[in-house]
Amino acid sequence: MVGALVHQLTKGVSPEVLKREGLGEYYTDHGVSVYPQSAAGVPFTAAYLQVKGDPITDLTEDLAAEQKARSTYEYLIDLADDPDVIDVLRFLRQREIVHFQRFGEALRTVQDKLAQRTFYMNNVNMNNNMQ
């Protein structure tokens, strides 16, 4: 979604203007194509994510990811001045909050399940029976 915003905002913009606006390095590496990298130019890598096969750990990772995304959208909103861009960012920020809520419910469901009868943390691994 943010890539689509960048694509629309940079369409037809001359290299001179891109350079003046701080996108000279980006233009050199990627032209005006959309490349997944951080604002500081670090390429996206799956090493940013973790999967442990433990539903408590994994759902907590998911919850953290939603909050990290929310914070990022808020910082982008701080920096943006185009009302149409801000509208999109506000919408995406709201989605992170809804997703956080739903993941939180899923975590609670798992915790309730684990609290039933005698369920030990050692049994949490999905390779064992989580039925």
Partner 1 sequence: MMMEDRKSLLKEIMALDFKLYDLALYLDTHPFDEDVLDMYQELTEEVEEKKEKYEKMYGPLTINNAAGECEWKWIENPWPWERMV
Positions in the binding site for partner 1 (CB under 8 A): 3-4, 7-8, 98-99, 102, 105-106, 109
Min CB(73)–partner 1 separation in Å: 18
Can you tell me whether residue 10 is helix, strand or coil? helix
Alpha carbon distance 89, 5 (integer Å):
10
Query: What H or E segment, with its residue span, contains residue 11?
Result: none
Min CB(110)–partner 1 separation in Å: 11
Min CB(17)–partner 1 separation in Å: 19
Residue number, 13 or 98, with CB nearest to partner 1: 98
Residue number, 19 or 58, with CB nearest to partner 1: 58
Residue number, 29 or 105, with CB nearest to partner 1: 105
Residue number, 19 or 107, with CB nearest to partner 1: 107
Tokens of 78: 């701080």
Min CB(105)–partner 1 separation in Å: 4
Task: Write b or e for each residue in 85-115: b if 16 or more Cβ atoms lie within 10 A of its Cβ, otherwise e.
Answer: beebbeebbeebeebbeebeeebeebeeebe
The residue with tokens 């989580």 is 130
